[in-house]
Amino acid sequence: MEGGSGILVYARKRNINPLAAKKWVDSMSKLSEEDKKRIIERAIETLKKIYDPEIPINIYDLGLIYDIKVDDEGIVTVTMTLTAIGCPVSTELPYFVYENLVSALPEAKEIYVDVVYDPPWNPTKMTEEGRRMFIEIYGYDIVEQWKKRMGLS
């Protein structure tokens, strides 16, 4: 029993129920909702420093990050996608995300980066900030253009 074996020995010596002692130790190691929120905020800050190599917008605002979860034990799971299945950095970018998160979140017990292609990325996945950046860089609204081309507006 990781981390709690000393407590269990203490519990046995004091005639305390070892299962109750383990539950107490486990409850002490669980992250609070506030801690989880802070980890997610720092993960977002970190992801906003990583840029797509073809579109000069960070991967968070570009909409490549679909989800960030932190469980009670401190396991962080980032679900992300790429702009296209044939993306030339399909192996490097997720690894770069992983490495940056490991450095930025030392309190995370484990970090996983899952790459998914369903649903596929499209410009509507961009944040408002990402959309604004795109307009500033390229001079047109890619979201509106995409919607027109798809017959959605």
Domains and CATH numbers, the chain: 1-30 (no CATH), 33-123 (3.30.300.130)
Residue 135 — pLDDT band, cuts 50, 70, 90?
Answer: very high
pLDDT in tens, 8-64: 555 566 676 767 656 655 555 789 999 999 999 999 999 999 999 889 999 999 999
- Contact (CB, 8 A) for 66 and 135: no
Give 66-85 pLDDT, tens digit per residue.
999 999 999 999 999 999 88
What is the distance between the alpha carbons of residues 117 and 62, in angstroms, rounded to a whole number? 15
What is the spatial order of strands in the sheet that 110-115 belongs to? 65-70, 75-80, 110-115
Q: How confident is the model at residue 105 (pLDDT cuts 50, 70, 90)?
A: very high
Strand duo 65-70 + 75-80: pairing: antiparallel
d(CA 98, CA 114): 10
First to last CA, the chain: 58
Q: How confident is the model at residue 90 (pLDDT cuts 50, 70, 90)?
A: confident
Q: Residue 145 has which token pair?
A: 């253009």
3-state secondary structure 48-108: CCCECCCCCCECCCCCCEEEEEECCCCEEEEEECCCCCCCCCCCHHHHHHHHHHHHHCCCC
Q: How far apart are CA 138 and CA 11, in angstroms?
A: 66
Q: Is the predicted pLDDT of residue 95 greater than 80, yes or no? A: yes
Q: Find the radius of gyration of the CA atoms of the chain.
A: 21
